[in-house]
Chains A and B, each alone.
Chain A
Amino acid sequence: DVKVTQSSRYLVKRTGEKVFLECVQDMDHENMFWYRQDPGLGLRLIYFSYDVKMKEKGDIPEGYSVSREKKERFSLILESASTNQTSMYLCASSLGGGAFFGQGTRLTVV
């Protein structure tokens, strides 16, 4: 079974903090993704990566950056957290078809 693991289930951070969300997958998938999910807005793609050190902007990249130094690890960085970044963050990986999701990180920015 594919396992995608996110470092935290719940996080509370202060406005202006730099926030790191970590994601690790154990299936040697090339593709990794970061989504956020908000009520009424569905799943929205923030960034994705096809390979180590490669990154592509998704639909809502503003205020975020990513890092992929190793194939199995994909990090999402909130450069300066704001209250409108309070959300559920979901990491996923795939070989090119359906993606497999981690358990999600519920981030609250106060």
Chain B
Amino acid sequence: QKEVEQNSGPLSVPEGAIASLNCTYSDRVSQSFFWYRQYSGKSPELIMSIYSNGDKEDGRFTAQLNKASQYVSLLIRDSQPSDSATYLCAVIYSGYSTLTFGKGTMLLVSP
């Protein structure tokens, strides 16, 4: 069964804090993982991709992948009110070629 689980939130953090968003998936052999940001009323925007265990950093964003534990996370450092959005985790499961999305975690960053 292809599943991607995320806490729906909202996750509330103060401006300047680190926001930590988590996602679990349901097999150990999948290779491709993605984070999308979606502002209210807008379409999802691809912000990070990660394919191997460990951390991948891009500006204030860090994606972390642990295949043994089947989770992927997104850290946002120095959170800004403009980061307030829903963050979607997506996985390309082994043997498939389409993205399976979680339902997203709403992040609220307060000034």
Q: How many residues of A contact B (CB 8 A)?
A: 20
| Residues of B contacting A97 in the complex (Cβ-Cβ under 8 angstroms) | 32, 34, 49, 92
Q: Is A77 an interface residue (CB 8 A)?
A: no
> In the complex, A31 Cα to B49 Cα: how many Å?
18
Chain B, residues 24-46, CB within 8 Å of chain A (1/0): the string is: 00000000101000000011111
State which residues 60-108 of A face B: CB under 8 Å. Answer: 90, 96-104
The reply to whether A99 and B99 form a contact with Cβ atoms under 8 Å apart is yes
| Residue ID in chain B nearest A40 by CB atoms | B103
Q: Is A19 an interface residue (CB 8 A)?
A: no
> In the complex, A90 Cα to B43 Cα: how many Å?
7
| Residues of A contacting B104 in the complex (Cβ-Cβ under 8 angstroms) | 42
Say whether, besides A48-B98, A58-B98, A100 and B103 are in contact (CB < 8 Å).
no
The reply to whether A43 and B42 form a contact with Cβ atoms under 8 Å apart is no
In the complex, besides A33-B99, A43-B44, A58-B98, 8 extra interface pairs with C-beta distance below 8 angstroms are: A42-B101, A97-B32, A97-B92, A98-B34, A98-B46, A98-B49, A98-B90, A99-B46
19 CB < 8 A contacts A-B: A31-B97, A33-B98, A41-B103, A42-B88, A43-B44, A43-B88, A43-B101, A45-B98, A45-B99, A50-B97, A58-B98, A90-B44, A96-B97, A97-B49, A97-B92, A98-B32, A100-B46, A103-B42, A104-B42
